[in-house]
Each structure stands twice: as structure tokens, then as C-alpha cells.
Amino acid sequence: MGKNLEKHIKPLRPRGLPEEMRTRLKELREKRDWSQRDLAGQLGLTQTHISGIESGKIVPRYDTLLELVRILDHDLLMVPRALVPVVQSLVRDHAQPEAGEGDERPLYATENEEEDRTEPPDEV
């Protein structure tokens, strides 16, 4: 029975950070023109540790992840699941080049809908 029970128990720690997060951390580091060694020096870690985090081989402790994210001028935030699409939309909107001051876009518009809105209307 012990072996059967072990099959259904999930490990407490994930195997690695989500790929999207690892990719974003790497992009932010490279945007600052920092090598893994530069970032490691800022955090008091080794280059190998940063490499392991970016590749998914190492799962950082929460305090290490928080410090890593903050040194890259970002933050971790707990968001209710129902609001995740809204927050993602705001982050995407913030990352886009500044549009005209009066331009308004709906929060939930798909990319196709946004493209349709930017096209001039057909003249009659």
C-alpha cells in the first residue's frame, strides 16, 4: 500500500520555474546588458546558480527569486485568478509603445479586434 500511496502524492517543490518566467528573467537581464556573472554578483550568487535558474535546473527559494526579480526592476504580485487576464492586459499595454494620449483600447480586445480598430473606415 505504501508504494501505491507514493504515486498519488505530489512533490511540494516544483521542478523548475515556469518557462515563461525563466525566459522573461533572461530577457530582462540581457536588456540591461548584464551577463549571468554580472547578475550573480549583484545577488551574491554564483554564475552557475543563475544559469541553473534560467535553465530550470534550479528552483530558487522565494527570497532569492524576490531579490532577483526586484534587482531587474520588477516585482512579484499575488493576483486573484479571476483578475489575471486584466493584469496581463495591463502589463501588455504598458510594454507597448506609447499611443496617442486620447487613444482608448478595451482591456479584453483580441489582437485581431485591435487591428480592426486601427484601420481607417472604408469611405462611401
Residues of CATH 1.10.260.40 domain(s) within the chain?
A: 19-71
List pLDDT tens digits, range 17-47. 899 999 999 999 999 999 999 999 999 999 9
* DSSP sequence for 27-78: HHHHHTT--HHHHHHHHT--HHHHHHHHHTS----HHHHHHHHHHTT-----
Confidence class for position 94, pLDDT limits 50, 70, 90: confident
Report whether CATH 1.10.260.40 matches the domain 19-71.
Answer: yes
pTM of the prediction? 0.64
